[in-house]
Structure 1
């Protein structure tokens, strides 16, 4: 049965998402002023590991949050839960209301990560056969240009994904833009997404609307 094109939009979740990622400057400033709630410190590289989700910490829980198409009027919904095997990125992605993406993203690192001594990112993941995207940002703004890399998953099987920094595409809202190569000396955030779009309005060939699951064991550099 075709999915409805319009569904009720959740303004509360929209507001909570922007607030979590400090995208509403005046609210973020007031919270810091009155409640002393600065973002958690960035991860510290140990043996080339940025995140080993099999060893969960409170810092990980405070850094990662859902960022779905509710910010553009959509109704997709996801979340991230730390489990014994890793970070479970799960939810339901819907194309209603012209939406079609769900993601988890870190809050901005302050100070940013310096990954300039490395060639790329290595993910260890177990997926559902769909194609996902991984993003890095070298700017601190909420909606700055991101650098993206698409990767396929094996349904129910573990795969290691190597993402060379040199192969990441500069994008803004799935549109490829002309920018300098990513500045790996100042990485402000990481993001993992399931989207109906590939790049420049082309469709993701392995996308299916509905429930999804991606288990992330670790994020490393090489």
Structure 2
């Protein structure tokens, strides 16, 4: 009964309306596992303060369905607690691949419905195909996928690695973000790197764009057929919260606990993504590995 009551309380917090000056109203609930939920309800305000004319009803059920997937249920004492597991990752090891039985997490959507938007996306963990539709209705404009909590509370020690390498197909030249998380806080620091997915049949070195950007090449073949490799150095990551850069933070490579991808009309600090378009998009993730 106590567990059920706690769950109802969390849902009540999620749907409670708030009127204030910020785009989100915080309330906190922390499971015993350490995953911290910072639930926030929207007042439909865009990041840059601009007002969108199009309004759609907020899908509160989709909000609850999406956000609940990233919370570890409380440990039950009569079942027994599972010990946290630290996994040392070496360069070249695969962290995730479509339909792999070695995966210890799945991806699930986390779209702008969490801030009152109407964009939506889906991810097929068997094929790696992430697709959806982005709209700026309700001042939204982003979609994302995020790893579910790692099995057995695993965390990755990646101190022996320089970064993460993605192999992707499609993308049509759009600019995406890849996020590494070193804390289980729901709205914790996002260690973010932007990257451009190659145009179909492109086969050239796109190079590094400096801090906050990854580099990509078609050295495995054409981007349309075999995929494009994108390297995301830890040294280029930008610490952000809600796409705003934060200072005074250090990346904890020995405690990687989450991975995320996003497609947003915003880059960093309110600047627009120059390789973004409203409407349909598709990106296929073929592999995520360390290097």
Fold agreement, TM-score > 0.5: yes
In the superposition, the TM-score normalised over structure 1's length comes to 0.84
Q: Mark the structure with the bigger radius of gyration.
A: 2
For structure 2, the 5+ residue unaligned runs are 1-51, 201-222
For structure 1, the 5+ residue unaligned runs are none
Correspondences of 1:1-222 after superposition (within 5 Å): 5-22=54-71, 28-29=73-74, 33=76, 47-53=92-98, 55-57=99-101, 59=103, 63-83=106-126, 86-109=127-150, 110-126=153-169, 127-156=171-200, 157=223, 158-222=227-291
Range moving further from structure 2, 133-142 or 44-53:
44-53
Distance of 2:108 and 2:288 partners within structure 1: 16
Distance of 1:95 and 1:132 partners within structure 2: 17
- RMSD between superposed Cα atoms in Å: 2.6
**3-state SS of paired residue (1:18):** helix
Structure 1 residue runs of 4+, over 6 Å off? Answer: 41-44
- Offset, 1:21: 1.0
| 1:52-110, Cα deviation, whole Å (9 max, x unpaired) | 22x433956x6211000000000111111134xx4111111111111111011002332
Relative to 1, partners in 2 of residues 1:12 and 1:58: Cα closer, same or farther, differing over 3 Å? farther
**3-state SS of paired residue (2:124):** strand
Range moving further from structure 2, 148-157 or 129-138:
148-157
In the superposition, the TM-score normalised over structure 2's length comes to 0.65
Distance of 2:62 and 2:86 partners within structure 1: 25
- Offset, 1:111: 2.3
Range moving further from structure 2, 209-218 or 149-158:
149-158
**3-state SS of paired residue (2:231):** strand
